[in-house]
Amino acid sequence: MVGILGGSGLYDIDGVQIIEEREVRTPYGEPSDRFVIADYKGKKAVFLPRHGKGHKFPPHLINYRANLWGFRKLGVKKILSVSAVGGINPLLRAGDFVIADQFIDFTKVRPVTFYEGAYTIVDEDDPNDDLVKEYLSNDRVVHIDVTEPFCPVMRDLLKKVLSETGERFHGKGTYAATEGPRLETSAEIQALSRLGADIVGMTLVPEIVLARELSMHFASLNVITNLAAGISGERLTSDEVIQMMKEKNNIIREIVLRFIEDLPEKFDCSCEDVLKGAAI
């Protein structure tokens, strides 16, 4: 089953048949909202707005571990994350889509792992029986490989779906994750640009890292809602972010639905092997 994490301005998905809404308990605390389990053309998907309905949680206070653990408890193994981002690379325009292929992490105060060694929190109700459970039950310290953090199969499918929409999109891009909730200074954006970042946002990390720690496949679809600080010379507002996400709502929905429909059952990639040999 695929999980969809919606970002700013994307709090639900129309066009699917809702089967049930589930509150999921986790030992990490409360997920951002109820999980909405839905059917689209015979395929099941689970939707969660990462900021909660009504945008209750700022990026640095989202309970990323609870969100990812909730997906795990519902049997989700693949996650499509949709986010609003600022554009840094001068080739990018507001309204473009970017499928991230790398990230650089500048976050500071977030729980970043499930594997905390002697301090590990174990879920006695974990329904799975896998390496995640084994490592957590034995208080192991785990260092996952993130050389290529995103699932190549999901990225290829996103490229195919996007090329069929006629929207302007970029098949790769480096996402700089900042701590927020403030936006960046223009000096910070210049520095991020020199470091090779194409886009900037506040939520991809630790979301991708935690998903990967659970051996999940993960893809990140980003909408450029604004040019990053200092690039256009204009002051930035949350209004323009939400306005752009509203404008793109229909097309995002179409992309997500086609993605759900076309997602293959079997994946030819190594995402599920990431825990092998990763524990000390």
The binding site for ligand HPA (CB under 6 A) comprises 84-86, 178, 183-184, 200-202, 225-226, 228, 236, 241
Provide, rounded to whole angstroms, the least separation between the CB of residue 98 and ligand HPA. 12
Between residues 184 and 198, which has the closer beta carbon with respect to ligand HPA? 184
Between residues 124 and 239, which has the closer beta carbon with respect to ligand HPA? 239
Provide, rounded to whole angstroms, the least separation between the CB of residue 185 and ligand HPA. 11
Between residues 26 and 89, which has the closer beta carbon with respect to ligand HPA? 89
C-alpha 124/C-alpha 121 separation (Å) is: 10
**Six-digit token string for 91:** 């080739």
What is the CA angle 36-80-232, rounded to 5? 115
Between residues 117 and 181, which has the closer beta carbon with respect to ligand HPA? 181
Provide, rounded to whole angstroms, the least separation between the CB of residue 152 and ligand HPA. 25
Provide, rounded to whole angstroms, the least separation between the CB of residue 51 and ligand HPA. 12
- Using the Cα atoms of residue 49, residue 95, residue 93 and residue 221 in order, give the sign of their dihedral: positive
Between residues 209 and 228, which has the closer beta carbon with respect to ligand HPA? 228
Provide, rounded to whole angstroms, the least separation between the CB of residue 46 and ligand HPA. 24
45 in Cβ contact with 20 (< 8 Å): no
**Six-digit token string for 44:** 């099941």
4: three-class secondary structure by DSSP: strand
Query: Nearest to ligand HPA by Cβ — which residue?
Result: 86
Neighbour tally for 88: CB within 10 Å = 27
247: three-class secondary structure by DSSP: helix
**Six-digit token string for 99:** 């499928």
